[in-house]
Amino acid sequence: MEKELYLIGNFKMNFTKSDIIPYLKKIKKLAKNTNNHVGICVPYPYLCYAKKYLNHSNVLYGAQNLHYKESGAFTGEVSAEMLNDFNCDMVIIGHSERRNYYNETDDSVNLKVLKALSSNIVPIICVGESELEREKNETFKVIDNQIKKALKDVKVEDLSSVIFAYEPIWAIGTGKTATSEQAEEVISHIKKYICKLYKLKSTDLIVVLYGGSMNEKNATELLKMPSIDGGLIGGACLNLEKFGVIFNTKIND
């Protein structure tokens, strides 16, 4: 049986209107016959184009952040209700760039996760350790803590509407990919930890992606690992030829 994979592109702060419209038209065609779940998270201003070109297509789309309040005096912020106006399927929450540059905390990540779930938007919860934390052998401790806090008050029945992304900070945008064994080790640990938290018997419903310098050359190696359900792809998703190779990866279980 073919493994069900999720390949989600994170545009970060890249592209302008003249890049994005041809991209959307092309990805819609390229992803038409793939059996994988393909998605892109675009900058807020381009959600209108994502809706226009990708609504009812094979390509899921969403944003890279949201605010957990419904409305109010929060200059520069965007609410889940606003994302729903564009029929967003998903939203990235707690990306390490937001944790590092914009003071995103485990508590705000948790509020955002709850808000996304109550708004029927799939949260893609990012967790990952720094290089120093890995060197100090603290990877599991750091990740368990991030996951536990992100999932506070999340009900067991909502777990199947959550996607997790393990993104070691030292591998993001650095070209330094985690080895498939390193990624597998942490992702299988994440699945077991969530099972323990929720007293689940099986890890089947838990989806965990790997993110950090995944590209068209190393994707198969990573995606064939038993616990890895897909990838969150930054740099390589900007080039549709590369992203196309990644999202057409076929792995037999």
Which amino acids are annotated catalytic? 95, 167
β-pairing, 207-211 vs 163-166, is parallel
Q: Are 10 and 243 in contact (CB under 8 A)?
A: no
Instruction: Considering the complex, state which of residue 84 and residue 173 has its C-beta at the smaller distance from ligand PGA.
Output: 173
Q: How far is the CB of 62 from ligand PGA (least distance, A)?
A: 13
141, amino acid identity:
K
β-pairing, 230-233 vs 59-63, is unpaired
Q: How far is the CB of 235 from ligand PGA (least distance, A)?
A: 4
x/- mask, ligand PGA, residues 210-239, rule CB under 6 A, reads: -xxxx-----------------xxxxx---
- Tracing tokens 């005096």 back to the chain, one arrives at 73
The CB density around residue 126, as the number of other CB atoms within 10 Å, is 28
Segment near ligand PGA (CB under 6 A), from 78-86, 146-154, 166-174, 182-190?
Answer: 166-174
x/- mask, ligand PGA, residues 167-196, rule CB under 6 A, reads: x----xx-----------------------
Segment near ligand PGA (CB under 6 A), from 79-87, 104-112, 205-213, 241-249?
Answer: 205-213
| By the rule CB under 6 A, 146 interacts with ligand PGA | no
Q: How far is the CB of 33 from ligand PGA (least distance, A)?
A: 24
Q: How far is the CB of 232 from ligand PGA (least distance, A)?
A: 4
* End-to-end CA separation in angstroms for the chain: 5
Q: How far is the CB of 159 from ligand PGA (least distance, A)?
A: 22
With CB atoms as reference, the residue minimizing the distance to ligand PGA is 234
Strands (E), 104-252: 122-127, 163-166, 207-211, 230-233
How many whole angstroms separate alpha carbon 253 and alpha carbon 76? 45
Task: Give the phi and the psi of residue 5 in degrees, each rounded to 5.
Answer: -110, 150
Q: How far is the CB of 207 from ligand PGA (least distance, A)?
A: 15
Beta partners for residue 91, in sequence order: 63, 123
66, amino acid identity:
L
Say how many residues touch ligand PGA, by CB under 6 A.
Answer: 13
Instruction: Considering the complex, state which of residue 12 and residue 115 has its C-beta at the smaller distance from ligand PGA.
Output: 12
How many whole angstroms separate alpha carbon 238 and alpha carbon 148? 32
- Tracing tokens 């603290």 back to the chain, one arrives at 138
Instruction: Considering the complex, state which of residue 91 and residue 236 has its C-beta at the smaller distance from ligand PGA.
Output: 236
How many whole angstroms separate alpha carbon 39 and alpha carbon 248? 12
Contact residues for ligand PGA, defined by CB under 6 A: 10, 167, 172-173, 211-214, 232-236
